[in-house]
Structure 1
Amino acid sequence: MSELLLISASGLAREVLATVRSSGRYDVVGFLDDDEELSGIEVDGAPVLGTIDDAVRYTHAFLLVCVDSSRPRKAVVERLNAMGIGTNRYATVIDTTVRMPEGCRIGRGSILLQNVTLTASVTLGAHVVAMPGVTFTHDDVVDDYATFAAGTSLGGGVRIGRAAYLGINSSVRERTSVGAYATVGMGAAVLSNVPDGETWVGVPAREMDREPFGFRGGQ
């Protein structure tokens, strides 16, 4: 088995650890995390071996960035790349329950947990995370670093932008898009295109008020 280091001792990393142990594809040698309080302890039986900067010491191990959210995950990958970590060093972890038809493509560093479904001609970029029960249907295209919380469902021909985040049990109508760095809230139903950087919530989903409780100054 190839050795694997998990970057961040997060909840996602613990889920990945359980998935990898079930599949037997990799030997997880430990975690790297910048939290000094985690140094030297074990998380679910795997040691925290040092900080993210220590990744350069483990030249024979594959790496998997297990940061839960899209933008921080992107920042960690960029940090590792600046340290000289090449694309070929990143592992891809796909749970054995995931259905992967011919014609679907998954980018390096991506994580697909239990019961994720890809139906036909789905394309996922690099360092994409799909939590349990996510559904991608025909011709969906997902850019790098996007995150899908548990139970998210995409209709056919959906486009998801770079580092977008879709919350638990959210859904996106066919042939619509969610822009780069956008956020879709828990349980939201997206029926029209979400612009870059906006946060949409509700059923049907609309842009979230920037002021709490819908209050707008001067009214």
Structure 2
Amino acid sequence: MEKPVIILGAKGIAHPALEIFNSNQVMVYGFLDEDEKLFGQEINTVPILGHTEDEGFLKLIGKKCEAFVAVDDNKYRQFLVKMLHENRKVQPVNAIHGMAYISTDATIGHGNFINAKVTLGAGSKIGSHCILHTGAIVEHGVELADFVQIGAGSVINSGVRIGEGAFVGSGVTVVAGVSIGKNARVGAGSVVISNVKDGETVFGNPAAPIKK
């Protein structure tokens, strides 16, 4: 990657994203964030320049800079990705840690955050704009749709399908062949042994739906 990167978002995964780009010898031009109180501050000497929707900075993207969306909140993440598509005609770049293991025939979309010690097994398919935290294991033949988040140390066993926008907390085990629906949520430490419906929240060992 020859161009420097502007990181949209200055909280949550923004700091580890900076570390990833630094470790890959990619220059980060600066951060943009919606919180005006952060403007003018720095993260490891890299400035927080202004608002995520500031056209003065956004106009650099696609010409002089690449973009990466470092926002944990899925709705705002989707909004920013759509804005980049429509206004700048660009796809966010991937942030992949040098200590991640990526199988030679894994496929990966755009704008993903893949932290240290993540494992992507043979034939796994990762959509776009996913967040895979430290040490997550995605076994062979797993398919993650767009905007999926996998917590640190979770184990997604072979043949699992996870729908768009789903959230899997830290330390979760999902047994082989299970499907987790769109926008579903799995609580930290859970063991998922059966399918999870769209929009459903499950927790426990074995994971069971939480009554609202």
- Normalised by the size of structure 1, how large is the TM-score? 0.90
Aligned to 1:197: 199
Aligned to 2:145: 143
Aligned to 2:11: 10
- Secondary structure in structure 2 of the residue aligned to 1:78: helix
Relative to structure 1, the CA distance from residue 95 to residue 146 in structure 2 (aligned partners, 3 Å threshold; closer, same or farther) is: same
Is 1:33 the counterpart of 2:37? The answer is no
Structure 2, unmatched stretches of 5+, are none
Q: Aligned runs of 1:65-84 on 2, under 5 Å? A: 65-84=69-88
Structure 1 stretches of at least 4 aligned residues deviating more than 3 Å after TM superposition = none
In 1, the alpha carbon distance for the partners of 2:59 and 2:94 equals 21
Aligned partner of 2:66 among 62, 78, 86 = 62
Instruction: Encode CA deviations 1:133-192: one digit per residue, 9 max, x unaligned.
Output: 000101000000101111111010000110111101011111011111111100011111
Shift of 1:51: 1.0
Relative to structure 1, the CA distance from residue 194 to residue 71 in structure 2 (aligned partners, 3 Å threshold; closer, same or farther) is: farther
Larger radius of gyration: 1
Question: RMSD of aligned C-alpha atoms?
Answer: 1.3
Q: Aligned runs of 1:40-189 on 2, under 5 Å? A: 40-54=40-54, 55-58=57-60, 59-87=63-91, 90-189=92-191
What percent of counterpart residues are identical? Answer: 31
Aligned to 1:213: none
Shift of 1:119: 1.8
The answer to whether the Cα contact below 8 Å between 2:59 and 2:88 also exists between their aligned partners in 1 is no
The answer to whether the Cα contact below 8 Å between 1:169 and 1:186 also exists between their aligned partners in 2 is yes
Shift of 1:18: 1.2
Relative to structure 1, the CA distance from residue 187 to residue 115 in structure 2 (aligned partners, 3 Å threshold; closer, same or farther) is: same
In 1, the alpha carbon distance for the partners of 2:19 and 2:52 equals 21
- Secondary structure in structure 1 of the residue aligned to 2:103: coil
The answer to whether the Cα contact below 8 Å between 1:173 and 1:190 also exists between their aligned partners in 2 is yes
Aligned partner of 1:206 among 182, 205, 208 = 208
Letter in 1 for 2:30: G
Letter in 1 for 2:101: R
